[in-house]
Structure 1
Amino acid sequence: MQSSTLSAALGELPSGFVRLTDVIPDLQVDLKYASDDNFVGKPLIGYEHATAVLTGDAARALRDVQAQLKPLGLGIKVFDAYRPQRTVDFFLQWAADDHDITCKEAFYPALDKPRLLVEGYLNSPSGHSRGSTVDLTLIRLSDNSELDMGTPFDFFGPQSWTDYSAISSSQKANRAMLQKIMLAHGFIGVHEEWWHFTLKAEPFPDTYFDFIAS
């Protein structure tokens, strides 16, 4: 594993990275870790500028996903993209604090915080820090409403597994559609999170970055 602590100058990004909305101007972005709407309950270190960034290769693949969805009246909404290593480090510190359970009922009701590490919901290093991993869902372009996937983003439990069966037929179909189109454009998912995808041919497979995007 190679680590990188590149610091981008204001308005610049390391070579190979792009702002997602520069590549996909009509993209809906809701960076959860730049807001209070996440499992910690506050904006996180590393997300000060609320800028969604990916490698150029991953961004262009997402552009192709958006283009295929558009004739169907659908699009994508991004919840997270590149994640600085400092944010990942914070997650591990947060998980070790048994007293801070502010958002437990909404995001991990059946788990004690240390289990988030044991069961692999929080990892260090994280693929997000390599710059080609994205968390996203499908939306209707008519009103930007999200398709029902059965759980919210970052719900930690078996209900979020891609093959979880105790959901409605429409929720299963929505998950299957998301998986199918992402895989068709070169992404691979993970069993535990229906929203999580990594570009299979990622350009930095062994490098974990720690710059703050702006």
Structure 2
Amino acid sequence: MKPKHLLPLLLVSLSIACKENKTTPKLNDVQKDTITIKQDTVVATPVVKEIKYKSLTGLADTTFVRIADFSGDFAYDLRYATANNFLKEKVYNCPECYTRAKTAKALLAANADFMKLGYRIKFFDCYRPNSVQYKMWKIVPNPQYVANPKKGSIHNKGGAVDITLETLDGVEVDMGTDFDFFGKKAYHDNTNLPEEILANRKLLKGTMEKHGFWSIRTEWWHYNLSAMSNAKVANFKWDCPE
């Protein structure tokens, strides 16, 4: 017979055991293997940094500006920064599109009109330093294709651009030939082309002329801003990333 003073301790132990059995059921081996612990998965939301574009307000008309600093609504395929051009050589150290401020204002206005119709301007070439004109002349010394650098071209003045159109989804519009195709098929007055191509060229030419540009008869892609015809030939050079 157990001593009386051990009885209270025995009752307390039995009471604790009963509570544990009620609140924590014993798991068999199968249950232990099938239990999973669910944890919340936290997905980080990327922070989209808003790009702040510069304003042309207050800039002198002859100031050289980088088009990409003033709008994100243009597209670029700057061919002379690659070997994919009629020279078959790269003549720019890096691809950039600069113009005079007055030219940039006209381009922004023209592009706004194109975007209302579901298109945007794509640049093939913009301002061209006169030193690059000399490089091109050395490769192809033919005034039919390259302006003599001694006189320079309106490209060297920051008043000319070579462009096409693409949809807002990035599909280039069919203009009948590639950029820098030197032949009758690229002429503005060549009407022996499919109606779609003629309509595309008409849209490009009509809109650019509305904003003060004029075209060259033999090149559907080339546009000069009339107001910059008397600007000086320049050799401003932009910085390239190291």
Q: Same fold (TM over 0.5)?
A: yes
Paired residue for 1:79? 124
* Aligned positions of 1:27-66 closer than 5 A: 27-44=74-91, 47-66=92-111
**Cα deviations by residue, 1:16-59 (Å, 9 ceiling, x for unpaired):** 11001112222111110001211122311xx2131110001111
C-alpha RMSD of the superposition: 1.6
- Residue 154 of structure 1 aligns to a residue in which SS? coil
CA contact (8 A) 2:166 2:172 kept: yes
* Aligned positions of 1:141-160 closer than 5 A: 141-142=168-169, 144-160=170-186
Letter in 2 for 1:123: A
CA distance in 1, matches of 2:232, 2:100: 12
Paired residue for 1:94? 139
* Aligned positions of 1:1-214 closer than 5 A: 16-44=63-91, 47-96=92-141, 116-117=142-143, 120-124=144-148, 125-142=152-169, 144-202=170-228, 205-214=230-239
CA contact (8 A) 1:81 1:134 kept: yes
**Cα deviations by residue, 1:89-144 (Å, 9 ceiling, x for unpaired):** 12221125xxxxxxxxxxxxxxxxxxx53xx22212221000010010011102x1
- Residue 197 of structure 1 aligns to a residue in which SS? strand
Letter in 2 for 1:22: D
CA distance in 1, matches of 2:185, 2:238: 32
CA distance in 2, matches of 1:138, 1:189: 15
CA distance in 2, matches of 1:92, 1:41: 13
- Residue 108 of structure 2 aligns to a residue in which SS? helix
CA distance in 1, matches of 2:138, 2:83: 18
Same amino acid, percent of matched pairs: 34
Letter in 1 for 2:65: V
Letter in 2 for 1:208: V
CA contact (8 A) 1:23 1:60 kept: no
User: TM-score if structure 1 supplies the norm length?
Assistant: 0.78
Listed as ranges, the gaps of 5+ residues in structure 2 are: 1-61
- Residue 227 of structure 2 aligns to a residue in which SS? coil
Larger Rg: 2
Structure 1 stretches of 4+ with a deviation exceeding 3 A read none
Q: Which has the higher contact order (CA 8 A, sep 6+)?
A: 1
